[in-house]
Chains A and B, each alone.
Chain A
């Protein structure tokens, strides 16, 4: 298999005769995969990192989904041009946006003709439920990025829904992940979130860089029944949300180091 499987966005721009809407420097921007779709819940669930989105959906959801799925660029088809809100979001998140008059079939054909190698799935269906099949996803959260707060839990919820887990377990996972995510946004510098979804259990790991929690046991105990303002004043700010996470999960493991950060390992058992 060739080492570098990708197509440069410059070549794509040329072949589609596309206009650059967002993107000062196209050098270094490339496509590892091409995702042709207007259904953003699919993009969230199946989209691979480093992909370029071809779409006719000219709304902010297309940009948000591309960002969450870690796509490098979006190409709007049929001459559709994104509005200023969409452009601003893309610019902030370093996503290149092009616009072409071509429709989706024409765009796919032209891109396929460009020199370069794109991995083909060989016709294997994207969702096969095998024994003990575990699907893993990784996400990033930036502290104090309130504009994006909630996106990781939304993306995780989408993936779990698409795989087909029971809605009740999804709800518990979404709530727990959301609490954990908000905690990072409010109190940490950044975090890495890992989702491991298997047939028997689902594990969400939130590993942050931050001030850490002074007294984990106390934060879990007291908060469990009374999450209050006074707790925050006592310095348990960064432990907030733990009670709710504990309530909604089957197993919660918290490790924390003052001045370094906190790691939450949240387990849910699939019945």
Chain B
């Protein structure tokens, strides 16, 4: 599914520069160690983490984008680093659980 379609259907806010991406699955975790062992390329990553090192994790795995849930504020330095390294960060006021239920609702199955 195209990232833009997900953004439009779930009213996600775009915090960085936007890129055309294909989303293949959804990965949820706030632990970067779990990202390294279990996240897959082209996953949409749901998390409440906003530290600059999330950018590092996204690019290592090549995830499609990062969605920060619960309306958490993403610091400017994280957004700047993301823009430098072509990482897309989105935001939603919904909780992680709620967003997960909405994502499956628009057709993103568990892989």
| Cβ-based interface call for A108 (8 A) | yes
Tell me the minimal C-beta distance from B98 to chain A in angstroms: 6
Residues A125 and B110 in contact, CB atoms below 8 Å apart: no
User: How many residues in B have their beta carbons less than 8 Å from beta carbons of A?
Assistant: 27
B104 / chain A contacts, CB cutoff of 8 Å? 108-109, 112
Q: Say yes or no: A124 contacts B101, CB within 8 Å.
A: no
Chain B residues closer than 8 Å to A173, beta-carbon distance: none
Cα A259 to Cα B44 in complex, Å, equals 60
Contacts of B100 in A (CB 8 A): 36, 104-105, 108-109, 112
Interface residue? A78 (CB, 8 A): yes
Query: What residues on A are CB-neighbors of B38 within 8 Å?
Result: 78, 103
**Contacts of A114-130 to chain B: CB distance below 8 A:** 120-121, 123-127
A-B contacts, CB under 8 A, total: 80
CA of A124 to CA of B98 in the docked complex: distance in angstroms? 12
Give B72 Cβ to nearest chain A Cβ, in Å.
9
Question: B59 to nearest A CB, angstroms?
Answer: 21
Residues on A with beta carbons closer than 8 Å to the beta carbon of B48? 37, 39, 42
Report chain A residues within 8 Å CB of B110. Answer: 103, 105-106, 109
For residue B43, which residue of chain A has the nearest CB? A105
Asked if B94 and A108 make an inter-chain contact with CB atoms under 8 angstroms apart, the answer reads no
Which of B28, B94, B103 is the one whose CB lies under 8 Å from A121?
A: B94
Cα of A38 to Cα of B34 in the assembled complex, Å: 10
Q: Would you call A254 an interface residue if the criterion is a C-beta within 8 Å of the partner chain's C-beta atoms?
A: no
Q: Would you call B28 and A124 a contact (CB within 8 A)? A: no
Interface check A54, CB cutoff 8 A? yes
The number of residues on chain A lying at the interface, defined by a beta carbon within 8 Å of a beta carbon of chain B, is: 27
B28 and A36 contact, CB distance less than 8 A: yes
Residue A34, interface by CB 8 Å: yes
Q: Which of A54, A78, A104, A126 neighbours the largest number of chain B CB atoms within 10 Å of its CB? A: A104
Name the residue of chain B whose CB is nearest to the CB of A125: B71
Q: Does B31 contact A (CB under 8 A)?
A: yes
CB neighbours of B94 from chain A (8 A)? 121, 123
Binary contact readout B44-79 vs A (1 if CB under 8 angstroms, 0 otherwise)? 001011000000000000000000001100000000
Collect the chain B residues with CB atoms within 8 Å of residue A39's CB.
30, 48-49
B97 at the interface (CB under 8 A from A): yes
The residue on B at minimum CB distance from A123 is B93
Question: Can you name 23 A-B pairs with beta carbons within 8 Å?
Answer: A35-B97, A36-B28, A36-B95, A37-B48, A37-B96, A38-B31, A46-B70, A56-B29, A57-B31, A103-B28, A104-B29, A104-B100, A105-B27, A105-B28, A108-B28, A108-B101, A108-B104, A112-B101, A121-B93, A121-B95, A123-B92, A125-B70, A125-B93
A-side residues, CB < 8 A to B, are 34-39, 42, 46, 54, 56-57, 78, 103-106, 108-109, 111-112, 120-121, 123-127
